[in-house]
Structure formats: C-alpha cells, structure tokens
Chains A and B, each alone.
Chain A
Amino acid sequence: MKDQELFPFPRGRVQEADLSLASSLREMMEREVAAKRLEMKEDYEGLLRPALRRALCETGLQRMMWPQHLGGEGHELHLAPYTVAAALEQLGRADTGLAVWAACGMSLQAVLCGRAEGDGLCERLAPLFRDEGDPLLISFILPVYGEGGDGALWQGRRLQVTAERTDKGWRLNGKAVRPLPGGLDAGLFGALCAVEGEKEPAFLIIPGDVQGLKRGPRLRATGLSACRQAELDLDEAEVPADACAWRGDAETRRLFCWYRLGMAAAASGALLAAHGIIAEWGDNRVIKGQGRLFKNNPLTASVMGEAAQETAVVRLLAYDLAEMLAEAEMRGEAGSERLEAYSLLLAHQALAAAERVLHRIMELMASAGYAKEWQLERYWRDVKTVQCQLGCVELARHALARWFFGSEGL
C-alpha cells in the first residue's frame, strides 16, 4: 500500500486534483531526487536546481495562487491549504529542504494574493512567479530573539532590517541579517522591517539583486543542505514604494500560519520517507537466536509501532492546520491571533514528534541509521534544523500561555 493511503488523512476534504498533483510530484521526486541523492551531495548546483525547477515551475506550484490575469493558476485560496499539505508532503518526502523552499514561496503567494486590494506589487512580481526557467527561491527576514543594532522590536523580537522612507520608496539597512531558510540562493526576500520614525513595521519585498545587498559566505548548518544559508548586509539598498506588501500584524500572522503549515507538511513528508526506510529494514534485517525478522522481534516491533503511531499523528496535525486555514469560518481568519496560536502549537507539536520518531528509527537501525548511505540521517538532521528555525519551543509556549491563559509580561 502506498503511504498516501497507509497513513490516514482527511481524504474527503482533499480535491482529486491535489491527489493527482501529489502522485505526480512523488513520481517526479523519485526520479529527480531519490535516484540521484548521492551524486547530489557532491553537486548541489548541478542537480538540485533542476529538481527544484521541476518541482516549483513545471508543476505550477510557484504560480499556483497567483491571479490568472497575471499569468498564474488562480487556485482558490480556501482550497489551497490542502494543496500545500498534499504537495509539500511529497516534496518533503524527497528532500525536506525542497519542501521548505516551496513552503516559503507558497506562503508569500497566499498572503500577497489574499490581500483585499491589489496594487502594483503583484503585477511587478508576476514575471518572477511565472518564470518557467528558474525557480523563484524566497527567504524571509523575520524578527529574531535577542538585541542588537537599533533594537526596534516586534512582539518582543528584534527586527533585523530598518527601512527609511525616501522620495522614491524605501532605503534599507541591516547588518548580519539572517534570512530563512537560506540567504545564499534566494532570489527574493520578504522582510518585516522597522520603519524609521513609525511604530508599525512594514513587510517589504526585496529583490535578491538589489544594489546594496551583499551576501556573506555560505554558513554550514546541521541540515537542510538544499537551503544554503548566508548572512546578508543591506547597505542603503533602495526599493520602490510599492515594495511594501503590507503594514500591520494581521498579514504577518497570516504569513506565519501558512509557513507553519508548510513546515508541518515537510515534517510529515520526512516521516513518510523514514517509514519507507524502516519498513525495508524491518523486512530484511534478522535478529539472531530464533532467526526472527527485525519487524517480528517484540521489542523492536514495539518501537516500529510507536514510529507509525507518531507518523500518523504528524500527518493529521499537518492536515488539521490545512483545515483551519481553509475553513476560516470555523476557527477564524488566518490573520487572527487565535489561528496564529493554533498554527504555532500544531507546527511545534508536529516537529517535536517528527524529531522524536527520527531519533527512534535511527536507534532501530543503529549504525546503518547513522550512515549517509541509508539516507535516514539526512531527514534526522533536516527535521532538527526546521525545528530550530521554528524557534525555541519554550518561547513558543509563552505565546501559547498568552493565548490560552492571558498571561502577561512574559
């Protein structure tokens, strides 16, 4: 049985088109990534880039929510969360980093296209999103914990970039700015910026080739090798007035909700991949003595059962979040504080469970789990990296305490 059917998900809510997109993505990724995985380690530029192009451009994910009159597919926003869950799960199954890139692109599309009134920005960006030759990699410059620089804050976190209004638009400055998921290859940045002299931050879209933007050297990270990290310096970089995609918190929260949906789906995909790996191991490895197959040993079978249990839960959490985003009338708008709290809760829960499962599966496979050859360790590193990027779980719990108990002054 394919894992798509093996682990439960709200089948009735997912459109046939999404299921067939998921199937074709799965096949495509088997061909483009799984089959070439070892060479890819040596040649990221050469091999992952085409895989990304196929995944994002050829399938239309990159322009999925973009309005049709601007060359997009015009996918309806209330259906899109399921599409994101189904598609990103399959990308994540092949490579967590691919899913993370797609998650960023789709989150930005969702928020830009969901704004009440259109403006010149969508029109200006349209060619980038509908480009079929090159994948558009988007990274976010979000507020971080910790102080430094001028220290303008958003919900207690430091805004990394400062924007100043000019006659023509905005002038941007920031040192050692850290975009997520990766600064080295991103073609477009979305930054929540402190606006000089104003209280409310602005979310600005910054092209990767803007003058004054300098990328630092590649920084190594635990995982997500598809998302190569580098810090940026923004030194008097100028962007036009319409680069401001939004002001106010609602859209920023909406962006977080979609981004977290992507992370949860990526984690679910990583666990589906891990399921395949441990299933193969369980079918072939023999524990001596009574000559039992690994999967028939009572002790190891119990851990395998635990892994399946948690994999199923992570998948359900991802689809739950999709449902919340899709059915605004049930639990409120994506831009609401309530949904932001729920998305935080679900994404952290999904990532924590995914991380636990990958630890457990690695324990079952012992050295083989630790060896690059078996691929498991890659998902283990990737999921841990995504978890780190989501932020400290203890601080997330503060946000939850604020929402659920009205805790103050945290």
Chain B
Amino acid sequence: MAARSADAGSGGARGRGDAGMRAADLEILDNRYMWELVAPGDRLFISMIRDFVDREVMPIRRQLEESTRGDFSLVREVQQKLVRMGFQKAFLPAEYGGWNLTAALTYCLVLDEFGRGEPACVAALGGGAWAMRPAVFAGNRRVLDDFAHRFCGDELYVACFAMTEPSGGCNIENVDLHGRGIHTRARLEGDEWVLDGSKVWPTNSGISDIYCVVCNTDPSLGDEGIALIYVPVPIEGFSFGRFEDKAGFRASREGDFQFDGVRVPREYRAAGPGEDAELLHDNLIFARLFSAAWAVGIAQGAFDDALAFAREKVVAGRPLCQHSLAANLLADMAIDIQVGRDSYVNAAYMYDHPESYGSRVSPQMLSRSTLTKVFCSDMAVRVTNLAMELMGDAGGDASYHVEKLWRDNKIIQLWEGGVQLGKLDVARGYYRYEQFHPNSLYERMRGGGSG
C-alpha cells in the first residue's frame, strides 16, 4: 500500500536513507537556510539532532502517539535517549556542566527537526531550557547551584514554565495589563516566598521536578510586581489535579495544579522587581520564536509525507506528483514552508544579536517574534490542510502521519498569545498600539447608558 509504511521512507526522503534521492534533491534540502547564521559549535548539535530524528523518531512516530494512550513508556524511552545525548543539560552554562547553548536560532532549528518527526515528545526536555532560562540569564547562582546538576545526570529531570491560569493565558501575556492578569500571589515571609494560586495547561504539568512559577507580589506595582519563582516538587502545599486529554500534541503533558501556601527560599526568585518582568517577556519572545520553528518543522513533515505519497501513488497513468495539479499543491506548500523558515531564521538571528538589532525585550522584538509565530503557525495549518487534501481519503487515515501533524500543529497557533493577541503584539512593533487607549465614545455610552 502506497506510502503507508512511509515512516522510514519519509524520514529517508529527507535524510541519508533514501538511496533514490538525487544529488540535486539533497542540495536543496541542505540549503534550507543559511548555515553561516549558525555558530559553528551549534551546527554539530543541529546535525546530531537531525540524525537522531531520522534514526530514533521517524521509524516509531506513530507508535509514540499510541504510547500516549497507555503509559507513555515509548515517549520516555526517546526522551531518555536525548538525555544521554546531553540534550537536557545543553542550555546550562559550561561551569555548571552544560554546553552554553542559549542561541534562539539553534533551539529553533532543533525544533524544526523535531517538528517534522514527533513534535511533542521533545517538550519534556525543551521545557527545561525554557523554564530555567530566566535563572540562567539572571545568573541566579542559588537556583543553579541547587538544581543545575540534576539536569546533568543520566535521568530525565523535567521543568515547567507555569504561566497560564484558569482565567486565561493571554491575560498574563498581554503587556498592556502589566501583570494585572496574574492571580497567583507570592508574599515574602521572612526569608521565604509563600505562593498561593493555581495554574492550568503548562507543558510538563504533573511530570515536572521543578516549576518556574509566574506570579505577582502586588498587582498595584504593575510590572514591578511580576515575579518568577522556582518551586521544586514534591513540596508541601503543592497539588496536581489531572492531565488534560487533547486533540493532538499528545506526547507532551499538560494539566492543572495548585499552590496552597507553598514555601521556598527567597533566593528562588529569578531576579527581582522589574527584572523578572523583563525575563518573563524575554521568555515569551523566545517562545514565540521557537513556536514558529516548531510549526515550520511540522509543515515540513507534512510536506515530506505528502510528497512521499505523491511519488508512490499512481493516478491516471503516472505518479501523482507528476500531475500538474499535484505539483502545484506541493509547490504552494514548499513556498509557504520556505518563507516561514526564512522568517523565523531572520527573527531568531536578530534576537541573538542585540548588539546589531537592539534589545531583545522591546516592542520591535516582540512584534518581530510574534509576526513569525503567527505567520508560521497559520502557514502550517494551511500546509497540513493541503497535504491532507492532496492525499484525499488517505489524508484522514491515521496510518499515515499527515493527519497527526495536522492535529499537532493546531495548538502552536493557539498558544503564546493565540491568534488575536498575537496580531495586536505584531502591531506594537509599528506604532504605539495600546489596547486600552481611552475611548471617549465607549465611556460616554457606558456612563450615559445610551446604547
């Protein structure tokens, strides 16, 4: 049956396994982006990951999702292999045993690779880099002294960036709200922070060993009240609710949890008033960049699979890919993917080079990173849709991978500002957009009760 066993095939179609691939094909694949933009040390890491995805993920990607209906054991096996490769500690400074890997572009290219294979299974490890980043950037020695070594061991050590709350994720991300949307409270009692509040949806909920909690010390302080506080678990007062059952992205785990008078040392705050807000915004900008790349990877995976299918499927006397109609669809996908990739590569490079492109935390950078995130995640929705369409009935068949990638991708569009707030953040780069700009007509209508 055509391309049903495309696991190896489509992996190979991109990697080294496909003997039938001509040199010209390979050239195009290897020139997907400008290697000059990547630091030489990081290039090796990226090709290692590419190889890992081809070898360890592609052949079992369907089983990985199946494993999430059971005990996740296969997902953990893959994660464990990544730990052994050193992926888990890569983000740490060298003095703490890590590889100093902080460049956003490198993370983006890594997630682009995972995206085409099994996007979600890497979340347990990626969560570490994301959640611990504020401590690394702030140079918080206490947090790093206490926890860095745990990321360097042979066992999975999972971290979670806990921001979203039951009343909404966007209310926290919205820079116009200056932390007023954060309900989780932190109060200083002696030398300890005491945390109360609840979170929903953070990646790695319930499986994490440490949480970076986005909270507020005093909403009246605005950005100064925003705090990022590390909470290792188990700890008294922390309770986990239940895992979410979702449409896709199933190899990553989300759920809800509660802080009820949880106490941690005062040094577990990432930095301090004002700086924590900056670190939060920085982390969100970083996340928008890697989300864009993740989506591009997913679109790439869908393209690879659709192409493998179209190569093998013979319709009306010739392979599907030799029909102009199919070639046209495949070209639409390729255009979208390449433009998306160019967009995130540029944005991530700019983010990594503040000396040339200005502060990493600025309305311009927020706009630039969101622009690429919105474009790439919308694009991946289009591309996965087109891939399903090209494959007809087989597009919805779970023995192929396209339908899974279609499901997996959707969440990238929804998280990190969603569609609407995302666009407002893009606008902020071009003029001083304020969501709560005074509206005299609205005030009059409210005050006067007229209409």
Contact = CB atoms under 8 A, between A and B. Distances in A.
Interface of A: 144-148, 156, 176, 178, 180, 219-223, 229, 285-290, 299-300, 303, 355, 359, 362-364, 366-367, 369-373, 377, 380-381, 384-385, 388-389, 391-395, 398
B411 A146 contact: no
Contacts of A389: 393, 396
Contacts of A303: 420
A289 B174 CA distance: 10
A391 B244 contact: no
Contact of B411 (A288, A370, A388): A370
B176 interface: yes
B171 interface: yes
Given A288-B168, A288-B181, A289-B174, A178 B419 contact: no
B361 interface: no
5 contacts: A359-B410, A362-B410, A372-B244, A381-B407, A384-B406
Contact of A147 (B170, B314, B394): B314
B246 A178 contact: no
Given A147-B315, A370-B411, A394-B389, A222 B170 contact: no
A370 B377 CA distance: 15
Nearest to A377: B247
Contact of B316 (A156, A180, A369): A156
Interface stretch (B45-53, B139-147, B279-287, B397-405): B397-405
A20 to B, nearest CB: 35
Contact of B169 (A156, A219, A366, A369): A366
B414 A223 contact: no
Contacts, number: 139
Interface of B: 1-2, 164, 167-171, 174, 176-177, 180-181, 200-201, 244-248, 254, 313-317, 320, 325, 329, 381, 385, 388-399, 403, 406-407, 410-411, 413-415, 418-420, 423-424, 435-436
B381 A288 contact: no
Given A146-B313, A220-B398, A370 B247 contact: yes
Given A220-B399, A380-B247, A385-B396, 12 more contacts: A176-B1, A220-B397, A222-B407, A287-B168, A289-B177, A289-B180, A366-B170, A370-B246, A370-B411, A388-B395, A393-B389, A395-B325
Contacts of B164: 367
A362 B393 contact: no
B397 A146 contact: no
Given A362-B410, A366-B169, A367-B415, A391 B398 contact: no
B393 A222 contact: no
Given A366-B169, A366-B170, A371 B403 contact: no
A219 B399 contact: yes
A145 B414 contact: no
B246 A377 contact: yes
Contacts of A395: 325, 392
Nearest to A359: B381
